[in-house]
Amino acid sequence: MHPRPPRIRRRLPRPSEFAPLLQRRQRAATRDERRVQGAVDINDLRALAKRRRPRAVFDYVDGGAESEVAMRRARDAFERVEFRPFVLRDVTSVSTATTILGAASTMPLVFGPTGYTRMMHTRGESAVARVAARAGIPYALSTVGTTSPEDFAVASGSGRRWFQLYVQRNRDHSLSLIERAQASGFDTLVLTVDVPVTGGRMRDLRNGLTIPPSLTWRTFVDGARHPGWLVDFLTTEPLVFASGGHDSGMSLEEIADAMFDAGVTWDDLRWFREVWPGRLVVKGVQRIDDAERMPDMGVDGIVISNHGGRQLDRAPTPLELLPPMVKAVGDRMEIMVDTGVRSGADVVAAVALGASAALVGRAYLYGLMAGGEAGVQRVVDIFRDDIQRTMQLLGITSIAELEPSMVHLPDR
């Protein structure tokens, strides 16, 4: 017969013992801050953004080209990453600081260029620029951004400014744009080369998305379900491109056909190198033999990118292309990567495999749609905390210690 367990002695709790149990989380100062403070990762912000924006606007950010195979594969590559950590190392103090294209950055993260950003939130690029400047990371303004280079410079203050250029048919217009960027303190030109024509954005076609969004009966009803967005859309200034052109309710494909030049060649790259005095980055490189030509043409860095899976579907997966690209040209210019980056662990994996930084676009747009500037700040906080935690768990204390042996990328 088993002995009976001793009785639990019970007592009434003292009033002083309740205080630690009843502590409440500090209340955020603004409504947007309260809305996003519970988001613990980018997927939480994505879910908030989906609830707070009309379907066509959310799908423009969230979607890819055609069957979205390239977009899924890019994300899958990061999810397949297997870390190989060191143990028994002192990781009490960790620094995420690094250099990107020869200048200091608080972490190996860049806010990449995104188009039509004020469609996601009325404060658009200006809100993102303020956050990037506070965070101490670069931010690239897009040719089809909705804030002028001059206003962007004011918003970013002392922050590091890059300008992304889509080559337009009118070369004088392109030259005027980069001259404005130079005069506004932009130190890096990001030449995007993977958009001779617009990819087949099927979600946008199904949604009938135009720039600005056309107020058909369907889109008005959808907008009415998101009254905050609709009021901002109807009562603030119309969307204006960084290029200085105004939209006229055209589809994305019509805008691209009117603005972009499908005849861009290597000779144009040489010309831009001649006319741009700052650092030159080529974004959209997807072949090693293309990358091998660029250092001799004065290119300072490349971004391995399939444009977020928004151009050629079933294009190469950037993270998989990174190691052989680094082996081929990594000693001659800087290599960055984008597409599918959703966490600080993704950034750490990319840097360990040889990238100097990772670019994000969707991630901060989810934050912008979820909570404006506060949402973008939450994105920065999530990435910074995640990068630091991942470094500590890997057993390192500086970005310079990251190396390929720490990452294994299994085949599909």
If one compares 259 and 290, the residue with the highest pLDDT of the two is 290
pLDDT, residue 18, reads 63
Is residue 164 a contact partner of residue 142, using CB atoms and an 8 Å limit? Answer: yes
* Total length of the chain: 412
What is the per-residue pLDDT for 3?
73
Residues 365-405 pLDDT 10s: 999 999 999 999 999 999 999 999 999 999 999 999 999 99
Q: How far apart are CA 48 and CA 260, in angstroms?
A: 34
Q: Say whether pLDDT at 46 is over 60.
A: yes
Tens digit of each residue's pLDDT (9 = 90 or more) over 233-257: 889 988 777 766 545 566 666 777 7
pTM for the whole thing? 0.93
**Helix, strand, coil proportions of the chain in percent (round to 5)?**
45, 15, 40
Mean pLDDT of 169-186: 93
pLDDT of residue 221: 78
The partner residues of 398 in beta bridges, in order of sequence, read 95
| Mean local confidence (pLDDT), 3-23 | 73
Catalytic residue among 2, 246, 307, 408: 307
Which domains can be identified in the chain, with CATH numbers?
39-205+231-408 (3.20.20.70)
- Least reliable range by pLDDT among 134-148, 158-172, 210-224: 210-224
**Mean pLDDT within 154-162:** 97
Percent of the chain whose pLDDT exceeds 90: 76
**Predicted pLDDT of residue 125:** 97
Residue 412 has pLDDT above 90, yes or no: no
Judge whether residue 36 has pLDDT over 70.
yes
Please say whether the beta carbons of 71 and 339 come within 8 A: yes
- Summary mean pLDDT of the chain: 92
Model pLDDT for residues 188-227, shown as the tens digit of each residue? 999 999 999 889 999 998 988 887 777 676 777 787 789 9
Which three-class secondary structure state does DSSP give residue 407? strand
| pLDDT value for 34 | 94
Q: Determine whether 307 is an active site residue.
A: yes
pLDDT for 215: 62
